[in-house]
Every structure is written in C-alpha cells, then in structure tokens.
Amino acid sequence: MSVDPTADPSAAADLEALYAGLDAARLRPLWTITDQLLTPTPRPKAVPWLWRASEMRPLAERAIRLVPVERGGERRVLSLTNPGLGGRPYAAGTLWGALQCLGPRESAPAHRHTPGAIRFVLEGEGVWTTVDGDSCDMRPGDLVLTPGGAWHDHTNGGDGNMFWFDGLDLPMVEALDGVFFEAHPDFNQAASGPHNRSEDEYARTGPGMGTLVPGAVTDALDPEPSPLLVYRWSDTDRRLSELAAAGSGPLTTLEFTNPRSGASVLPTLACSAHRVAGGDLASAPTRRSGNTVYVVYRGEGTSVIDGQRFDWTAGDMFVVPSWAAVEHRSGPGADLFGLSDTPVLRALGIYREETLLGPQEVTRVFG
C-alpha cells in the first residue's frame, strides 16, 4: 500500500499493530488475500482423479458381506473422496459421487432430503427404487432420478448383487446451508400402484425425440425436477447410435432432459451420455466452469485432463474439475455417463466454456 515500512521504523510498528488489531477483531484485509480469492480462472480444490472398478468392486463385495443395510447404517454407499478436498467425502467441490450396492433381497430404508440425487445403474438386476410411491425398475445403463424432497428407498427383489452410481448435489446444498433430512415412518414406503408409472406417462412425450437431446441444454431453466423418473438404456443407446451415424466426430454427446420443459433433469444437476467413437481419435479439448463426474459404462479408453492421462475401463469413475481441459479417446469405442452442476452455473449467469481447437484457436461461449 502507500506506506513503505522500510522507510520509517515507527510506521512499520504501526502497520504491525494494525494487522494484529485486525486479526484480533476478526477482520481480514482484502489486499493480503485478493490473489487467492479473485482468481483469473476457477481454481477448484478438487483434483482430476480416477477410481478404478477393479479396486472399488472387491471392497464393495466385502461391504455386502460384512455390513448389513439397516436403520442406523441406512445405505451401503462408498463415496468418491477427492484427495484435493481435505478429507471431505465429495468427488468434487459441488458434487457427491458414490458406488452403492445391495445384496440379494436387501432393502435400503425410505427417507427424503433436500439434496437431489440421480442413479446410473452399472450392474445387476431385480432392483427398483421407489420414488414418492412410483417404483422404478433399475437395469444396467438406466438413469433413475430421486429429486430433492421425494421419498425414496431401494429394494433388491432378486438373488444377485446390484451396483450403481449415485450422484447428488449434496455439497452445493450444504454450501447453501440448506440440508434437511427425514426418515420415512415405515422402513419401506408403500408403492401406490404398478411399477414405472412416470415412464408410462412421460417417456414418449416432450420436445423433439422425447427426452434425449444432442449436445447440452443451454436455454431452459426449470426449478421443477423432471416428472419422468427413469431413462432407459435402450433409448439412450439407440439415440447415441443415430447421432453417431449422422456423423458427430470422435465424441457424440446427448443430455437427458425434462420432458415438460426441455431443461436438465434436476434444477441442480445435468446428466449426459457420451459415445466415444472407436479408432483412438481424440475429441477436441474442452473446458467448462463447474465440475463433472464421469462413469464409464462400456468399453475402455483414455481421457487427458489438464495434461494428466487417465486410462479407464468399464465401471471406472473419474472427475474433471472446473475449468480443466479434457479430451477423450477410445480404441474399441466406449460409452460414458456424465453428471455435472451446469444448470446452477447457467441459472446464475456464470457459466463459461471453451473449446481449444488448435494452438491458437479458441471458441468461447460465455453465459
């Protein structure tokens, strides 16, 4: 600042006393910390990271054998814990990601909470999630929504283990000091009719070809969650094939949308599916504000995240933190599921993305 403490020892002592006084009064001078706060570009604490199915899977199987699912224990969930977040159990600063598993004939108790959740099914059969009385059958590749405030419980009516990815906006809701949780009076809520009623009502309606749109949702914001609670892999797969056949390059992306409004599936969360074409062609490196968790559904490949290489295979999960440049490629071809916080950034007018085409060329999209 304007005072040069080396010029005048008493001024130096005054300045030191000022800083001590500020500290004691719990005031912090912005001029000492502005560089860490108003950074030129986002500086997420979460780091690029990959969790391998080969490591998670045996641990999940041990948990199925050793830890029962019951009131008190609640859910058998292994949270992706990003090493950049100082031990907080989050995949990224804004996103919860986890592997959940249920053994044969097990059930996880009914409850509701303000954070919203999505499930992307990896493996197994015979499980359904009941959402406000509507039991949604879960099969590999399906996306199931449990919007904030909706009662939900999971039941395995089959004889095998079941594994799925959970994504929640919990860290965002926590940052807003808005977490409420409530256990249902009954262990499982009663289903109020046949299974998959939201699917029967909404799966074949909505803007365009149902609910799977190419690219990302850019204009529609909806504070209401999607009334459609389940998106079937057979539809996702077919739509990806159509788009890829129409020639979309090394990466074909679609977003799951709310059939009522065309918005992202939840007010806080966007879900996407990505087909990485075989042949090892890299997609254009892209960076976005906001965090993304990817789940590898099929195939194998490589993503380069801010210069770091991650080789992945089916069942792996990885995080692309805000503003990290990412490109994907695959030899045999692969399908990825993506979860991101984009709707929140868009709603607040702070979303940015850019595609790095070559050494000099950059396509910027602000807002």
Taking the least distance from each CB to ligand GTQ, the nearer of 78 and 284 is: 78
Question: Hey, what amino acid is at 71?
Answer: R
Residue with tokens 């509701």: 112
Residue 184 C-alpha from the chain's centroid: 26
What is the C-alpha separation between 233 and 143, in angstroms, rounded? 8
Site for ligand GTQ in 166-225 (CB under 6 A): 166, 168
Among 50, 64, 98, 101, binds ligand GTQ (CB under 6 A): 98
Closest separation in Å from C-beta 239 to ligand GTQ:
27
Q: In this structure, what are the phi and psi dihedrals at residue 46, rounded to the nearest 5 degrees?
A: -65, 140
Nearer to ligand GTQ, 179 or 365 (CB): 179
Q: Which is nearer to ligand GTQ, 169 or 199 (CB)?
A: 169
Under a CB-based contact definition with an 8 Å cutoff, are residues 155 and 123 in contact? Answer: no
Site for ligand GTQ in 24-43 (CB under 6 A): none
Q: How far is the CB of 105 from ligand GTQ (least distance, A)?
A: 18
Nearer to ligand GTQ, 98 or 277 (CB): 98
87, 120 in Cβ contact below 8 A?
A: no
337, 273 contact by CB (below 8 A)? yes
Return the bridge partners of 180, or none: none
Site residues for ligand GTQ, 71-90, by CB under 6 A, read 75, 77
Query: To the nearest whole angstrom, how small is the minimum distance from the Cβ of residue 100 to ligand GTQ?
Result: 6
76 or 329: CB nearest ligand GTQ: 76
Please report where in the chains the tokens 């990271």 appear, as a residue. 49
Instruction: Name the minimum Å distance from CB 166 to ligand GTQ.
Output: 3
User: Which residue has the CB atom at the shortest distance from ligand GTQ?
Assistant: 166
Residue 155 CB, nearest approach to ligand GTQ (Å): 12
For the stretch 43-64, what's the b/e string if a residue is b when 16 or more beta carbons lie within 10 angstroms of its beta carbon?
ebebbbbbbbbeebbeebeebb
Cβ atoms of 144 and 118 within 8 Å: the answer is yes
109 vs 250, beta carbon nearer ligand GTQ: 109
Residues that bind ligand GTQ (CB under 6 A): 75, 77, 98, 100, 117, 152, 166, 168
